[in-house]
Amino acid sequence: MGAFQLEFSSYNASQLQSEYFRNLPSCNFIQFGVLFINMKKKGKHFSLYRNLLEHFLNYQESIGRTFKTNQIGKEEIDGFVHYLHVEKELKISTIKSMVTKLKYIIGKAYLNGWAVDDSYSDAKVRESDSTFIYLSEKEIARIYYYKDLTPKQEEIRDLFIVGCMTGQRYSDYSRLSVDNIKGDNIHVLQQKTKNKAVVPMTDYVREIIAKYGGKMPKARCIQYFNKAIKQICKKVGLTELIVYEEEQADRIIMVKRPKYDMISSHTARRTFATNMIKNNIPSNKIMKCTGHKTSACFDRYDRMTLEDNARALAGNGYLS
């Protein structure tokens, strides 16, 4: 039996999209958005969606337009981003979060039978080069052996140290126990991505888990934890000023912040990755510990400063 061959010329009159979808009606975007978030009144994200819609409503007023669901494409979202960044002077990270929610609502409009401009999915907010910090191995030791802490602060400190030693997210390193330990390794099924990660056990982690009877101390909400770890690091003496340039509303400004004020639960994950890189551990091996699947995502956790990088290059024959 002979093989069939595709006759491309015979499909010229066919349509990629059905007549039904090409003739979907549209509706006022804000009206749909309000109806949509009203269903989320009891959800924790309701206020964030409301904030987005209020900003978008103000944007419409500023440009004298009222958008329907099928009139918000990539170019319109780019205009909204420019408005938020330049006129409202919001941070890129805040804008990125808003655009993610905006695209989510547009997608829901389509799923509810309203016409949309398909190009909305191509809209992206450029990554910010904001300065994130990491802690050196000496700084980790200073925090771990610091004595003048309250019992609650000591628990927060111990949780944070485990994060620095395992490279996991707070949702994962705050729930570790002896059940995660197999031999000399810690096995984690990550809550956010469901990726598996295996990390070597360190003396710090072994001591901390034993200290609390085979499990981690009680996890606090992330907001409480982030506030507390800043206070702890201030006590420890991580008060050096971090000076960096940052873009705000299309202007480059100089920012000075004490190091402790830039530390949060996620600093632990960056600390692990950066210290591994400084110790010349190959990225593909570190990714097996952090659970990253792609180099693009992992590279954001390399927090070596330009000075660190310059020092690493200083021994190169060309630069000697």
Q: How confident is the model at residue 17 (pLDDT cuts 50, 70, 90)?
A: low
Percent of the chain with pLDDT over 90: 50
Give the integer Cα–Cα distance in Å for 188 and 194: 9
User: Is the per-residue pLDDT at 280 higher than 80?
Assistant: yes
Q: How confident is the model at residue 254 (pLDDT cuts 50, 70, 90)?
A: confident
| 197 DSSP β-pair partners | 188
pLDDT digits over 79-130, tens only? 999 899 888 888 888 899 999 999 999 999 999 999 999 899 998 887 655 5
pLDDT digits over 104-114, tens only? 999 999 999 99
CA atoms within 13 A on the CB side of 65: 12
Please give the CATH topology (third level) of the domain spanning 137-307.
Answer: hpI Integrase; Chain A (1.10.443)
In terms of Cβ atoms closer than 10 Å to its own Cβ (0-12, 13-18, 19+), residue 238 is buried
User: Is the per-residue pLDDT at 4 higher than 90?
Assistant: no
Quick one: average pLDDT of 43-72?
90
Average pLDDT, the chain: 85
Give residues with Cβ within 8 angstroms of 115, minimum separation 6. 24, 25, 26, 69, 70
Instruction: Provide the terminal-to-terminal Cα distance of the chain, rounded to the nearest Å.
Output: 71
Locate the DSSP E strands across the chain.
181-182, 185-189, 196-200, 241-248, 251-258
- Pinpoint the alpha helices (H) of 112-250: 137-144, 151-166, 170-173, 203-211, 222-236
CA atoms within 13 A on the CB side of 272: 27
User: Is the per-residue pLDDT at 8 higher than 70?
Assistant: no
Query: pLDDT value at position 47?
Result: 86
Distinct helix (H) and strand (E) counts, the chain: 14, 5
Provide CATH code, domain 20-121: 1.10.150
Query: pLDDT value at position 42?
Result: 62
Cβ atoms 174, 228 nearer than 8 A: no
pLDDT digits over 209-253, tens only? 999 998 888 888 888 999 999 999 999 999 999 887 776 656 777
93: left (phi over 0), alpha (psi -120 to 50) or beta: alpha
Cβ atoms 40, 49 nearer than 8 A: yes
Query: pLDDT value at position 64?
Result: 92
Domain boundaries, the chain: 20-121, 137-307
Query: pLDDT value at position 313?
Result: 58
**Number of CB atoms found within 10 A of residue 16's CB:** 6
- DSSP secondary structure, 37-59, as one string: HHTTTTSTTHHHHHHHHHHHHHH
